Structure formats: C-alpha cells, structure tokens
Amino acid sequence: MAVNDPCLILLRKIQQMEFVALELNLYLDIHPDDCKALEQYNCTHKELCELKRQYEQQYGPLLNYGYGMNTGNNWRWAEQPWPWEM
C-alpha cells in the first residue's frame, strides 16, 4: 500500500490520536487527580471514536470479538491485510 493511500492517511491520524490517549492514560495512572489531563483524555477519546468509526465503515473492523461492527455481507475481519503486511 502506498504511503499516500487514503486508508493509510486515516490510519496515521488514528495512530496519532491513540498515542495522545495512551500518553495521557499512563500519566493519569500515577497522577489520577490531574483534572486538566482528565479533561484532555476525554476530549481525545471523543475524537478517536469518530476517527475509528470512519475507518471501520470504509476499510473494515479494527476490533473483533463483538467490539467492532462488520459492515457488508461478508466477514471482513479476516479479509483485510494484517498490520505486518501493510
């Protein structure tokens, strides 16, 4: 897949937002009373949900085990390339 492929561009945005969420998560684990970080975490969560919804609708599920929606008439989980093949 080419680097400028729209699928990879959207995936890159998700990776960036997830990175922000993870950094805040680890920080909050040991600073649970930091209200500003908590607020930022919740904002990030909202943006991340929207990006993942867009991605899953267009390119197939990111999560399985019932945590992601399978749109279309066939099982898309096993159809999309795996991360080490992209």
Q: Site for other proteins (CB under 8 A): which residue of 19, 39, 43, 54?
A: 19
Number of chain positions touching other proteins (CB under 8 A): 28
**Min. distance of Cβ 46 from other proteins in angstroms?**
18
The single-letter code of the amino acid at 21 is A
Our CB check for other proteins shows the closer of 73 and 84 to be: 84
The interface with other proteins within residues 26-65 (CB under 8 A) comprises 26-27, 29-32, 61-65
- Asked whether the CA dihedral 66, 67, 73, 76 is positive or negative, the reply is negative
DSSP conformational letter for 5:
-
Residue 54 CB neighbour total at 10 angstroms: 13
